[in-house]
Amino acid sequence: MYPFKFEPLLKQTLWGGDKIIPFKHLNESLERVGESWEISGVDDNESVVADGPDKGLTLTQLVRRHREELVGEDNYSAFGEKFPLLIKFIDAKQDLSIQVHPDDVLAKRRHNSFGKTEMWYVVDADKNAKLRSGFSHEIDATEYKERVKNNTITDVLQEYEIHPGDVFFLPAGRVHSIGAGSFIAEIQQTSDITYRIYDFNRKDANGQTRELHTELAKDAINYEVLNDYRTKYDRVKDEPVELVACPYFTTSVYDLTEEVTCDYSDLDSFVILICVEGSCNLIDNEGNKVSLQAGETILYPALTEEITIMPSEEGVKILETYV
């Protein structure tokens, strides 16, 4: 089997910016593009194969055709034809809403859906760009509701100035918000369920405020307080560095100036490579050779045993993720 690239799903949003289209080298004139869904199996928002013998197939159709050979035996047994990960680029020109996502149990009961655990990798950030993740001190559900009502919920959230390469892991239940000037790669469970807690009393083009989900969010929030919500890692070159390992995905970063060969012969999963900087050529054990540049994402089937990454002279930075 060969590796798959997909047509991006571009999402115009109230808070979107102008960075995604040039970053992905697209010939588009859309404004306020807040998200590019790179690989998605979300209902009514499925990725479509961009080229090759399976061109035009949706991601679900691709899984249906190739089954375990594409996603791996354990993944196919667990998820069937539903692809388990959603990959995005996010460009925030304005602050996103304060929000939270339900876990698997709550999402299944309320929406018949997966929960939404996710991670952020900061691709780029404007000067003084910030994001919010987790509580700065302990509150309970009663105080939460009161703070939403009196517009002080941001006072009890931890805020971080961000820079390229910063990583945040966001288990379901953690209150968070992406701030203005943030450009992020997001890896998450396949879910589009978001409970909007606070939206800065912002109005849309019709002068309407957006719906808040105060009650739904109340029972989804994990109210624990941590000392630090950032994910720390050693920034070394020319070898994989693991960023996040959780039940839903494992993600590493490769910051390469030299050729590296990745051995997946013992891995029972597809592998997704997300290029966040530079460019490279990739060749797998079956001889499939493809190029990858910043803004592109590629899916390798579970049958792939080996991938050699050959960076360009400028180097390449890649996120690798699998289940």
39-75 burial: b if 16+ Cβ within 10 Å, else e: bbbbeeebbbbeeeebeebbbbebbeebbbbbbbeeb
Catalytic residue among 64, 65, 67, 196: 196
Helices (H), the chain: 20-23, 59-66, 68-71, 73-79, 104-111, 141-149, 214-220
124-161 burial: b if 16+ Cβ within 10 Å, else e: bbbeebbbbbbbeeebeeeebbebbeeeebbebbbebe
Torsion angle of the four alpha carbons 126, 127, 133, 136, in this order, in degrees rounded to the nearest 10 = -160
147 noted as active-site residue = no
Burial of 180 (0-12, 13-18, 19+ CB in 10 A): middle
How many other C-beta atoms are found inside a 10 Å radius of the C-beta of residue 247? 10
* 313 contact partners, CB below 8 Å, separation of at least 6: none
Q: Which of 23, 157, 38, 49 is nearest to 95 (CA)?
A: 157
* 206 contact partners, CB below 8 Å, separation of at least 6: none
Q: What is the DSSP string of 126-157?
A: -TT-EEEEEESS---HHHHHHHHHTT-GGGGE
Return the active site residues.
Answer: 196
